Structure 1
Amino acid sequence: MNYRHAFHAGNHADVLKHVALLALCDALTAKPAPLFALDTHAGAGLYALAGEEAGRTGEAVDGIGRLLAASPTGTPVHPAIRRYLDAVADCRAAHGEDGYPGSPWLLAHALREQDRIACCELRDEEAALLKRHVGGDPRVAVHARDGYAAIRALLPPKIGAVRYARGLVLIDPPYEAQLAEFDTARAALRDALVLWPQAVYALWYPIKRRSALNPFYRSAATLEAKSVLACELLVRPDDSPLRMNGSGLLILNAPWQFDAVMRSVLDALRARLGDTGASAQLAWLKAPA
């Protein structure tokens, strides 16, 4: 699998990932202390859904497109989903009606003046676009480097005289190595927890056949985090090995009551984005003490 952001912008996986990302930001900014956010595989930060890459796959039609059609302005919508739709609307007001925000744009949109963000992208072309899209924000540092290496280099975060006790790390790799990427991501999480144990970590992962992920679930449960939560949305049955049937987020050190928010979010997204046989699951792989 080569999951380059531009080809899949606005699809069902992006919807899940970005709804959850904003919910995490809102939970963390409920306290006044400054935050640091690290986006390890940031992509270009902003996309045009009518552009060459996203237009070629058309995946946004069954993602953000379907959600917008099912959730017009003024209709009752889950608050976390409305938060996401409002962010997309703000992005489009600034960048055009086919604009779609990547995670760096959403982090800059959701976090505060006192917070700081580091975004990493290894591909030169996308790193240049990322710098153009968010690099002008004084809160955002753009790094053209490997995101896994950045975990070891940038954590625990200290900028100037400020040491950041709280924050968020989003790991959203392309899974070019397929199942082997899960081992790489787990090792990165293990290292990150040693360096910055109190942070919230979110790892996105694709789902083809869910049963193939059982070793990943078992190993994730052994990570030295206070808690490990899996949030998953499958928009179709996971019986096709040739396509991405859904995706999940592994959340380490989830904020208080985040699981309750995501349980209802997953049900709402399944109802709006799912085909026949769609499912949603939220499970503690390691419950908080």
Structure 2
Amino acid sequence: MVETDLKDRIWRHADRVEVGEIPFGTEIPGFTLVRCREETRIEPTLYKPLACVVLQGAKESFLGEAPVRFSAGQTLIVSLDIPTVSRIVGASPDAPYIAMALELDLSMMRSLAAELSDTGPGSEHLLQEQSVAIAAGDTDPNLLDAMERLFNLIGRPSDQRVLLPLILREIHFRLLSAGHGAMLRRLMLRDSHVSRIARAVSKIRSDIAAPIRIAELSQLAGMSPSSFHEHFKSVTAKTPLQFQKDIRLQEARSRLIGGAGSVTEIAFTVGYESPTQFSREYARKFGVSPRADRQGAS
């Protein structure tokens, strides 16, 4: 199913833009390519809602303690902003890990949800499906074809103006229709537990410096505090406090590496009252102190 020609063209494109072993963006917003010629250690990662189509090699992400492995011929779907850890587990100089990733437009998903009602599972079935924010499954040939056409738009601005909206819409439809796209379908149901938890996640993400108020979050989700805790952890594999801590630390690392202020300033910006506590938790999370991390990136 996976076309060797597409893998070769991504390899040549990576050479042309002179990238290393990290994901690299394209002029198509939210469309990222990966070519990594070596396995990697476990690294903290902050996923946005996305789909990652693997053409060669394998990668592993974790939802809590549970590994989610996805390899050639499979697609990873992430439905929510979610802090996790991941690593490339199948790559070599001769057979690198090659993948295409696209950030998802949830507004577009919602506009397509009604059209899916005639082709996907009914609401009653969806409300009983397992709630997980990350899932992997076999890549639909139609999805692979659409992703290849998206790749073909790179460097063709005239084609992008006409074809890009159509291809993006098709890709989102294919993902909603996918066997392992249940979480996306549940997210489109306003009263599902997933959509309610998504509102709480959005609230935490929008103001990471604010203290967690379970009463406010559970009210936003339309749940009792105990029910909110249960469903939040079933979706994210973390408690709200753990989730916020990971989000804060990931955001702090991004700002540190980008040079956006001193360590102390960034600690306060993401919600820490004690720079000492921030440095201690940062080192525990990333294996290096904030200052050393910044120096290593410069």
- TM-score calculated relative to the size of structure 1: 0.31
Q: Between Structure 1 and Structure 2, whose CA radius of gyration is higher?
A: 2
- TM-score calculated relative to the size of structure 2: 0.30
